[in-house]
Amino acid sequence: MARATVLIDGNNFYASCEAVLDPAVIGRPLVVLSNNDGCIVSRSAEARALGIAMGSPYFQVRAELERHGVIVRSSNYGLYADMSMRLMATLEAWVEELEIYSVDEAFGLLHRPAGPDGAPADLRAWGRELRLQVRQRLGLPVAVGIAPSKVLAKIANRIAKKDPGHGGVFDLGAAGDLDPWLE
């Protein structure tokens, strides 16, 4: 049986954690600032849509944020660490091996069964169920990239995040010809 590498990555992790703590911010533009409120280190999807850049110094964009009604939060690293531990504990039950990569990312290994035609089975349904369970248990959105290696899983995760047609899950290992995806 072939092995599959998965990369599970929290979407807008700090901003998503803030939304779990305060559901009133869901659907509204929100940014999280670095230590001492220096720079923007996380943005909700709504803040991204406004063109607010990651790493922007707060003092330079403060008026723009106010003009757009963006919610601004100071970092709450205790909350993010707690949510990260909960996320990783949830993921452990879904994979054979888990390698924590960062506060909001982890690689996992699992067996990829062969499909009826002998080709690698598509694991998108598995990824969609994982996303659903993480959302239900923790309130966090995640993207899932599945592939034969870590590098390819990172690419699959990027495709899962950037292309809404994939619903947050992309299985590069079952995609057949990789060239169009790697271009």
Report the catalytic residues: 105
DSSP lists the bridge partners of residue 98 as 108
What DSSP string runs through 69-109?
T-EEEE--HHHHHHHHHHHHHHHHTTSSEEEEEETTEEEEE
Q: Pick from 3, 1, 2: which is nearest to 108 by CA?
A: 3
- Sequence-distant (6+) residues with CB within 8 A of 160 are 127, 143, 144, 145, 166, 167, 168, 169, 170
Q: Pick from 84, 77, 78: which is nearest to 98 by CA?
A: 84
Following CA atoms 139, 73, 34, 131 in sequence, which dihedral angle do they give, to the nearest 10 degrees?
10
